[in-house]
Amino acid sequence: MRLTPVQQRAIEFGEGRLVLVAGAGAGKTGVLTERFVHLVSERGVDPERILTITFTRNATAEMKARIIRQLEWRGLHDARHRIESAYIHTVHALCRRLLQENPFEAGIEPDPTVLSAPASHQLRTEAFHRALDHLLSMQSQAAEQEALHALIAEYLMLGDTAVRGDPLQTLYRMVGYLVDESRHQGLALPELLQWLSEETFRSAGASPASEDRQEAHAQQLQHALLRLSCEYLAQYQQLKEEQGTLDFDDLQLRAVQMLRSSATVRHRYQQRFQYLLVDEAQDIDPLQAELIELLTGEQGNLMVVGDGQQSIYGFRFADLRVFRNWQAKASCTLEMHDNFRSRPEILAFVRFIFAHLWGDAFLPPQHARPSLPADEGHEEPHVQVWRWARREPDAEAALIAGTIRQWVANSSLPVHDMETNALRPARYGDFALLFHQYTAVERYEQQFQQIGVPCYVVGGGRGYYLRYEVRDLANLLRALTDLEDEVALLSLLRSPMVGLSLDALMLLVDEAQRWQLPLRLALNDPPSDLPPEDTERLMRFLGWFGSLEREVGRRSVGWLLARALEASAYEARLLRLPDGKQQVANVRKLLALAIGQPAVHPQAFAAQLDALVRAEQREGNAPTFEESADVVRFYTVHGAKGLEFPVVFLADTGYRERARDLPIYVEPLERRMGLRLRNGYETTTYRELRDRHRQEEIAEAQRKLYVALTRARDYLIVNLTMAGNPWARGLMGALSRYLNQPRTRHHLPDGTPFLWKEVSSG
């Protein structure tokens, strides 16, 4: 690795706190690797005395692999073998290791079970209802009970909104939001109780005449909501303790609490970790920052690497203020803006867009990619803008797919091969479509399939729990465990697992009603006029279904599903369908989830799936391609973070922003909360926090756009749609001078050429 002077300084930095601002394509992973190796090889530091925190498991694996290669190349075989036990982890993996190494001080089992997302969701729901029941049954002050009743009445979902499920769903989500925001900012139950004690309870009727009654009513509701949230968290913790489990967030909270309370443990780790290296520091949340500070100590050696322009994980509680605070406290700050990834045309386009959006605050990437082989005779512009007058996902997807197919079929798009350092024709695997969100991804996938371009949605898209095959298995479990759930049984009989016709279902229902029997019992003696093919399928179904009914309560849900899949040949039937491969992958994903919960009753497992549907869990479909497959890949920007691609299409820039329907904003560290009432009234704090959050959302959306554009190595094609979201507004604002011009070939102010194409679906 040839190092720049700034990279060299970062690698060889001595004692103290270093902040390395590493722009897109600046080679930060290489610098972190070299820093680690330098500490081991040049300063004799034991690998186990270097704590390295990465953002993802993939980044951890890559970091370890690079370090091992470098140590082996230097002949440091003993150090190389110590890497497997070195502290190179994601934050959550690090916390789990700290808890396992100190179970007594942490107050937990040595190897705690961590709840899966569905199991955690089910436990949270139970905790919420227990908390509500407990508070409603308490003999509290009349004013407090009145406030709790008012809170329930204010946010009860009535009428058509209740069709989606629990009428208390809005209140449940408000409590979950308040608790989750608080926990990720370091506030556990004791701190929430302290906040509650500091809140002045004031009934609406006791408010001064000069105070707005709406504000007084909202203040009453806020106190009740905070009270309910504290009780919910207490109940949730009790349920987890009864099961001997932790949830994902507990790993961080318990580790921080242990380090706060135990000076012995804290000092031991501060002595152990001679150096700390933190990657992707711009996406750290306040609780994680506290963990890092507790492990570093006042005199520790801390190196954090990040880029505020690429902070895009606010939805996971990341707080850019954490990185900026580290910058303010650093004994040394270095900046790496050399970009070794992208062609100069792409970087010029990025600089033009973001100079417009961010002005003097923008830190522009500078071209540093080594000279490329000449591509004489090739005329395809490396930067293209395809402008759409309105959002048309089907037409846009068809144009992209057709263009890719033509380029690949004709071998007409040369890309730079990183292994051979030569040009070669682009393959399908060189293309990536990047989306702000996956709301329309199925329509892109369908168009690609129709045109014959192989594609793969990385992360699986959305709506896993709503997929027919997942619902089929949920209906199977409900039918096995509830004789009266005839909707589940009818759905199962109609599904590919059994395959009865609609006529057969009608005959069976009529027969059950004629004899006034539950449908399940009526199946044992079907009507004589049932079509022969349906009769045969029904008899086959009753054979295996009846045997499974006898095993309910004795066998695990995973065992029941596996036997049902085997007996019904369900997967073979799915494979005959157009989307069969994906459906089978989804079935196996659910089976793995069931096998991982051997103690859960089948009815409870089905209830988990139903609850996840109501909660709109955005679980992706199971993968169907190997990573090395030659297919076009679809990514969200979050999924593409840290990756690069020869050809990037920015897709669906006309996306519709998701409306925020949760009527609450909180800032736990500031002990502030604001509510929106049923009548539309918004408290002063709500409006202030809403405006702040909206500005943060716009800023993060612009940073997502920056991350998306800087993933491209050789070609960048932006599909620009007229819309009101931050991506479309930002791009259109910067490029407005090129609108409605007859020419298609244009130049940026610095002379960089690009293609502008007006596109019409007609």
Mean pLDDT of the chain: 90
Q: What mean pLDDT is predicted for residues 143-150? A: 92
**Which residue pairs from 410-415 have beta carbons closer than 8 angstroms and sit at least 24 positions apart in sequence?**
412/380, 413/380, 413/647, 413/715, 414/375, 414/378, 415/646, 415/647, 415/713, 415/714, 415/715
* DSSP track, 41-73: HTT---GGGEEEEESSHHHHHHHHHHHHHHHHH
> In percent, how much of the chain has pLDDT > 90?
72
The predicted pLDDT at position 163 comes to 42
Average pLDDT over residues 493-522: 90
Calculate mean pLDDT across residues 15-31. 95
Give the model confidence (pLDDT) of 747-757 as tens digits. Answer: 999 999 999 99
Q: Determine the Cα–Cα distance for residues 295 and 290; give it in Å rounded to an integer.
A: 9
Which candidate, 758, 25, 761, places its Cα nearest to that of 384? 758
**640-652 pLDDT per residue, tens:** 999 999 999 999 9
- Domains defined along the chain, listed by start: 5-109+252-340 (3.40.50.300), 116-243 (no CATH), 347-361+381-462+627-759 (3.40.50.300), 464-615 (1.10.486.10)
Q: What own/partner pairs with CB < 8 Å and gap ≥ 24 does 317-324 have? A: 317/180, 317/181, 317/184, 317/185, 317/285, 317/286, 317/287, 318/282, 318/283, 318/284, 318/285, 319/284, 319/285, 319/286, 320/282, 322/281, 322/284, 322/285, 322/286, 322/288, 322/289, 323/281, 323/282, 323/284
* Terminal-to-terminal C-alpha distance of the chain: 51
Most confident of 103-112, 156-165, 611-620, 726-735: 726-735
Average pLDDT (687-691) is: 97
**Tell me, what's the pLDDT at 716?**
98
Give the pLDDT band (50/70/90) at residue 703. very high
Task: Give phi and psi for 654, each to the nearest 5.
Answer: -90, 20
What confidence score (pLDDT) does residue 210 get?
A: 39
Q: Is the pLDDT of residue 158 over 80?
A: no
Confidence label for 460 from pLDDT (cuts 50, 70 and 90): low
The mean per-residue pLDDT over the stretch 653-680 comes to: 93
pLDDT tens digit string along 168-193?
999 999 999 999 999 999 999 999 99
pLDDT tens, position by position, 579-599:
788 889 889 988 988 888 888
